[in-house]
């Protein structure tokens, strides 16, 4: 008997340009896993509006992100690619799960705490219940694995807690998912402030690389990257955060191990290393940028991808929605 393929789900908020962090931390893994799993990848526009967005920008960034997913190697024939708001089951199951999630456990989410500081004038209820919607995203597809960067691990853990609580009351409704993180690249740091995560909210200071950045801008950012007063290229995140971050990036872009990188730049100093790291990223991103630009010229094609993605996603998600509604006691329509 043919075994059912395991299921993967993941997503990215179209709230800014895709960054090198989200590429190395998430998308690169998505592409590597596409052949062996049944995969669902989305643009999480519902999550994006927890922070105020310019509507026209959100719309165009969502399409651009779709083009970038495909350009990065996600074949729409093999992966279900869709826009979160096109599949109403996310919000529907999200509401139910809100009633099985505790105020206390949401209050402990580090991302909520960070974002409340950054958006002090807009600490809305969506920002608070964000992880519940994310739990619904994952659980409605009965996902086994959720490939994410390190910062989303806590949200996958709370998803498991919510699912366990629900299952404990109603029987085995949800599969418990596991986070899946790359060995190298799960937490790419800012090139300017290596103690902070590289993040799309900090695009202007040279600390963040976007997938669409031009080669000369990428090279400039790498040459200006903050390191230390030492000269030795050595992996030591506690004492050499900047250099170690560049090593992660270079390793992830080229497949070279830390030991190989240390040997390659022994006695050469930081200048040569920064140039090599920058060039590796330029070459990594160039084909993605070029292909995405091409795809964006073909709006009909992109529309056909997200339309058929939504249909496929919805039919999978609807099965779980029905089960959930039945379990909690809703009258069938």
Q: Which residues are catalytic?
A: 115, 197, 200
CB of residue 159 to ligand TYM, shortest distance in Å: 8
Per-residue x/- mask for ligand TYM, residues 126 to 155, rule CB under 6 A?
--------x--xx-------x-xx-xx--x
Do 44 and 94 meet the contact criterion of CB atoms below 8 Å apart?
no
CB of residue 300 to ligand TYM, shortest distance in Å: 27
Q: H-type helices in 171-298, by residue range? A: 215-223, 241-254, 258-264, 269-296
Stretch 21-80 residues interacting with ligand TYM (CB under 6 A) = 21-22, 25-26, 44, 47
Identify which of residues 69 and 265 has a Cβ nearer to ligand TYM in the complex.
Answer: 69
The string over 103-130, giving b where at least 16 C-beta atoms fall within 10 Å of a residue's C-beta and e elsewhere, is: eeebeebeebeebeeeeeeeeeeebbbb
Question: 56: burial class by Cβ within 10 Å (0-12, 13-18, 19+)?
Answer: exposed
Per-residue x/- mask for ligand TYM, residues 180 to 219, rule CB under 6 A?
------xxx--------xx---------------------
Query: For ligand TYM, which residue has the nearest CB?
Result: 25
Residue 37, SS3 per DSSP = coil
Stretch 310-329 residues interacting with ligand TYM (CB under 6 A) = none
Nearest Cα residue to 159 out of 129, 131, 126: 131
CB of residue 98 to ligand TYM, shortest distance in Å: 15
CB of residue 210 to ligand TYM, shortest distance in Å: 12
Identify which of residues 298 and 321 has a Cβ nearer to ligand TYM in the complex.
Answer: 321
Distance CA 170, CA 131 (A): 21
Identify which of residues 140 and 233 has a Cβ nearer to ligand TYM in the complex.
Answer: 140
| Contact status: 115 vs ligand TYM (CB under 6 A) | no
CB of residue 229 to ligand TYM, shortest distance in Å: 25
Distance CA 45, CA 137 (A): 12
Distance CA 157, CA 125 (A): 21
Identify which of residues 151 and 262 has a Cβ nearer to ligand TYM in the complex.
Answer: 151
φ, ψ for residue 134 (rounded to 5)? -65, -35
How many residues bind ligand TYM (CB under 6 A)? The answer is: 25
Identify which of residues 34 and 232 has a Cβ nearer to ligand TYM in the complex.
Answer: 34
Question: 325: burial class by Cβ within 10 Å (0-12, 13-18, 19+)?
Answer: middle
CB of residue 272 to ligand TYM, shortest distance in Å: 25
Nearest Cα residue to 96 out of 173, 11, 7, 12: 173
Distance CA 222, CA 237 (A): 18
Identify which of residues 176 and 231 has a Cβ nearer to ligand TYM in the complex.
Answer: 176
| Residues contributing to the site for ligand TYM (CB under 6 A) | 9-13, 21-22, 25-26, 44, 47, 134, 137-138, 146, 148-149, 151-152, 155, 186-188, 197-198
């Amino acid at each position: 008997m043919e075994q059912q393929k395991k299921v993967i789900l993941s997503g990215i908020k179209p709230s800014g340009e895709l960054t090198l962090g989200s590429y190395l931390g998430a998308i690169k893994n998505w592409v590597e896993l596409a052949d062996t799993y049944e995969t669902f990848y989305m643009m999480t526009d519902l999550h994006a509006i927890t922070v105020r967005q310019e509507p026209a920008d959100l719309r165009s960034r969502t399409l651009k992100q779709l083009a970038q997913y495909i350009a990065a190697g996600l074949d729409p024939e093999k992966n279900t690619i869709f826009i979160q708001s096109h599949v109403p089951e996310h919000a529907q199951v999200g509401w139910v799960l809100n009633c099985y999630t505790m105020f206390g456990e949401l209050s402990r989410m580090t991302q909520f705490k960070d974002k409340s500081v950054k958006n002090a004038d807009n600490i809305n209820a969506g920002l608070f219940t964000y992880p519940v919607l994310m739990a619904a995203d994952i659980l409605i597809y009965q996902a086994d694995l959720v490939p994410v960067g390190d910062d989303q691990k806590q949200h996958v853990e709370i998803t498991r807690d919510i699912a366990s609580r629900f299952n404990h009351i109603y029987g085995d409704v949800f599969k418990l998912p596991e986070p899946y993180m790359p060995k190298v690249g799960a937490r790419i740091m800012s090139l300017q402030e290596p103690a902070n995560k590289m993040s799309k909210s900090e695009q202007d200071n040279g600390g963040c690389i976007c997938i669409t950045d031009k080669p000369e801008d990428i090279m400039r950012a790498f040459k200006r990257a903050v390191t230390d007063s030492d000269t030795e290229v050595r992996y030591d995140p506690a004492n050499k955060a900047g250099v170690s971050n560049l090593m992660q990036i270079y390793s992830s872009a080229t497949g070279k191990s830390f030991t190989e990188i240390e040997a390659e730049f022994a006695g050469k100093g930081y200048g040569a290393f920064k140039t090599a790291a920058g060039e590796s990223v330029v070459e990594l991103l160039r084909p993605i940028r070029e292909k995405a630009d091409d795809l964006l010229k073909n709006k009909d094609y992109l529309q056909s991808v997200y339309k058929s993605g939504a249909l496929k996603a919805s039919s999978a998600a609807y099965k779980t929605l029905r089960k959930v509604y039945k379990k909690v006691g809703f009258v069938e329509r």
